[in-house]
């Protein structure tokens, strides 16, 4: 499969490094554009080349600062539409606001749906994303959504690193069982589950460990790590049940606040992440290993561009 001259790849401000990796794999240049901020913080975007009749791919994680990155994306989509792009395919490695996917209490918004509405109204043709926090977000869009999986990338790393007969994969909550089972299948390893409750946002309490982890090297897997509170309390509970070394992994390293410092001082031996979110230098510690998802996203772009099946990438 090849790229035609109609394919144009553009990066916004959230993750230029990842965009450049994807462009290099596809052997296409990144499109020329500029994103500027006025003194009152309004955003101005200029597309500095013709995109008329082109198949455009925009790369933007809606990570911190989420609101700024979302507005950049919306304005760029609108600019592409007004510049007569034939299609506007939006690559969102990390979809911000995904944890606000339902009404947990009375009078709460469903912000993940609002973001989907904004992106669609702006003029997007297709979404390519990675490990949505809630799978139902795919249904918030009335356009094609390709949700890729980071588990195979993470599992391949551990397959080379740890003897599989000594490994057990652990889901940190009920919602992560499917993800843990997928990794366990790839590694041919058993799984266990942390039973927890969350009395308020960013606070969790481990109630029980379901499964035998004694004498095993544990791989804790989650879709994202934010404050790392859940991760560290789970690691402590697992060691209390006789687990040997604790490894952790996630697709999306949100790592807000003091998360990196907490991981650094914890009993976790290594945290393996993907580069779905740009990790600033001050957060790049020895305990954290970052794997690139650029080949996965480049493959998705190539398949969409050539009208080939993308479903093989979901497996």
CA 221, distance to chain mean position in Å, is 13
pTM above 0.85, yes or no: yes
Domain-located, residue 301: no
Domain-located, residue 312: no
The pair of structure tokens assigned to 113 is 């749906």
Which DSSP state fits 283?
G
Tell me, yes or no, whether 207 and 180 share the same domain: yes
What is the structure's pLDDT at 1? Answer: 73
Tell me, yes or no, whether 260 and 156 share the same domain: yes
Tell me, yes or no, whether 28 and 59 share the same domain: yes
Domain-located, residue 304: no
Q: Provide the β-strand partners of residue 8.
A: 56
Kind of pairing, strands 55-59 and 7-11? parallel
Which strand (E) or helix (H) includes residue 27?
none
Q: Provide the β-strand partners of residue 270.
A: 247
CA 187, distance to chain mean position in Å, is 22
The annotation places the binding site for D-ribose 5-phosphate at 198, 222, 226-230
Tell me, yes or no, whether 162 and 28 share the same domain: no
Give me the DSSP letters along 154-176. HHHHHHHHS-GGGEEEEESSGGG
Q: Pick from 148, 169, 202: which residue ends a domain? A: 148
Domain-located, residue 82: yes
Tell me, yes or no, whether 162 and 273 share the same domain: yes
Tell me, yes or no, whether 157 and 193 share the same domain: yes
The annotation places the binding site at 40-42, 99-100, 133, 173, 198, 222, 226-230
Q: What percent of the chain has pLDDT above 90?
A: 87
What is the structure's pLDDT at 197? Answer: 67
Distance CA 263, CA 235 (A): 11
Of 19, 24, 56, residue with least CA distance to 305: 56
Q: Pick from 111, 131, 148: which residue ends a domain? A: 148
Please determine, for residue 203, whether its predicted confidence score (pLDDT) is greater than 60: no
| CATH number where 268 lies | 3.40.50.2020
Distance CA 10, CA 220 (A): 35
Domain-located, residue 271: yes
CA distances (Å), 280 to each of 37, 65, 222, 254, 283, in order? 21, 13, 21, 11, 6
Tell me, yes or no, whether 125 and 197 share the same domain: no
The annotation places the binding site for Mg(2+) at 133, 173
The annotation places the binding site for ATP at 40-42, 99-100
| Cβ contacts of 246 within 8 Å, gap of 6 or more | 217, 218, 220, 235, 238, 239, 267, 268, 269
Distance CA 28, CA 301 (A): 12
Domain-located, residue 314: no
Tell me, yes or no, whether 236 and 121 share the same domain: no
Distance CA 167, CA 295 (A): 27
Q: Tens digit of pLDDT for each residue in 249-301?
A: 999 999 999 999 999 999 999 999 999 999 999 999 999 999 999 999 999 99
Please determine, for residue 112, whether its predicted confidence score (pLDDT) is greater than 60: yes
> How many structural domains are present in the chain?
2
Please determine, for residue 207, whether its predicted confidence score (pLDDT) is greater than 90: no
Q: Which domain holds residue 177?
A: 151-291
Please determine, for residue 208, whether its predicted confidence score (pLDDT) is greater than 90: no
Tell me, yes or no, whether 140 and 182 share the same domain: no
Q: Which of 196, 200, 269, 287 is catalytic?
A: 196
Kind of pairing, strands 203-210 and 191-200? antiparallel
The pair of structure tokens assigned to 112 is 């993940």
Q: Tens digit of pLDDT for each residue in 130-141?
A: 999 998 999 999
Q: Pick from 92, 115, 148: which residue ends a domain? A: 148
Q: Tens digit of pLDDT for each residue in 179-194?
A: 999 999 999 999 999 9
Tell me, yes or no, whether 85 and 165 share the same domain: no
Domain-located, residue 298: no
Q: Are 89 and 57 in contact (CB under 8 A)?
A: yes
Q: Tens digit of pLDDT for each residue in 79-90?
A: 999 999 999 999
What is the SS3 assignment for 198? strand
Read off the pLDDT band of 62 (50, 70, 90): very high
Q: Respond yes or no: is residue 196 known to be catalytic.
A: yes
Tell me, yes or no, whether 138 and 255 share the same domain: no
- Is the bond leading into 224 cis (omega within 30 degrees of zero)? no
Tell me, yes or no, whether 159 and 192 share the same domain: yes
């Amino acid at each position: 499969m090849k790229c035609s001259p109609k394919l144009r790849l553009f990066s916004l401000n959230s993750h230029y490094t990842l965009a450049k990796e994807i462009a290099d794999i596809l052997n296409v240049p990144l499109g020329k554009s500029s994103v500027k901020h006025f003194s009152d913080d309004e955003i101005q975007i200029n597309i500095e080349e013709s995109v008329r009749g082109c198949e455009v791919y925009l790369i933007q994680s809606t990570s911190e600062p989420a609101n700024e990155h979302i507005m950049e994306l919306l304005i760029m989509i609108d600019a592409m539409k007004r510049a007569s792009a034939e299609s506007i395919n939006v690559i969102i490695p990390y979809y911000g606001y995904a944890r606000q996917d339902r009404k947990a209490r009375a009078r709460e918004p469903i912000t993940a749906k609002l973001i989907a509405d904004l992106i669609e109204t702006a003029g997007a043709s297709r979404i390519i994303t990675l490990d949505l926090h809630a799978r139902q977000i795919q249904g918030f869009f009335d356009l094609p959504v390709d949700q890729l999986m980071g588990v195979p990338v993470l599992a391949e790393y551990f397959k080379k690193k740890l003897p599989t007969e000594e490994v057990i994969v652990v889901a940190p909550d009920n919602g992560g069982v499917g993800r843990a089972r997928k990794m366990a299948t790839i590694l041919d390893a058993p799984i266990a589950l942390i039973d927890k409750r969350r009395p308020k946002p960013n606070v969790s309490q481990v109630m029980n460990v379901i499964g035998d982890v004694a004498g095993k090297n544990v791989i804790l897997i989650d879709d994202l790590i934010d404050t790392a509170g859940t991760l560290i309390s789970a690691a402590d509970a697992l060691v209390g049940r006789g687990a040997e070394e604790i490894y952790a992994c996630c697709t999306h390293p949100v790592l807000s606040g003091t998360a990196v410092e907490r991981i650094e001082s914890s009993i976790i031996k290594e945290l393996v992440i993907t580069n779905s979110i740009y990790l600033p230098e001050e957060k790049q510690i020895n305990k954290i290993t970052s794997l690139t998802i650029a080949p996965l996203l480049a493959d998705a772009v190539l398949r969409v561009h050539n009208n080939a099946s993308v479903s093989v990438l979901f497996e």
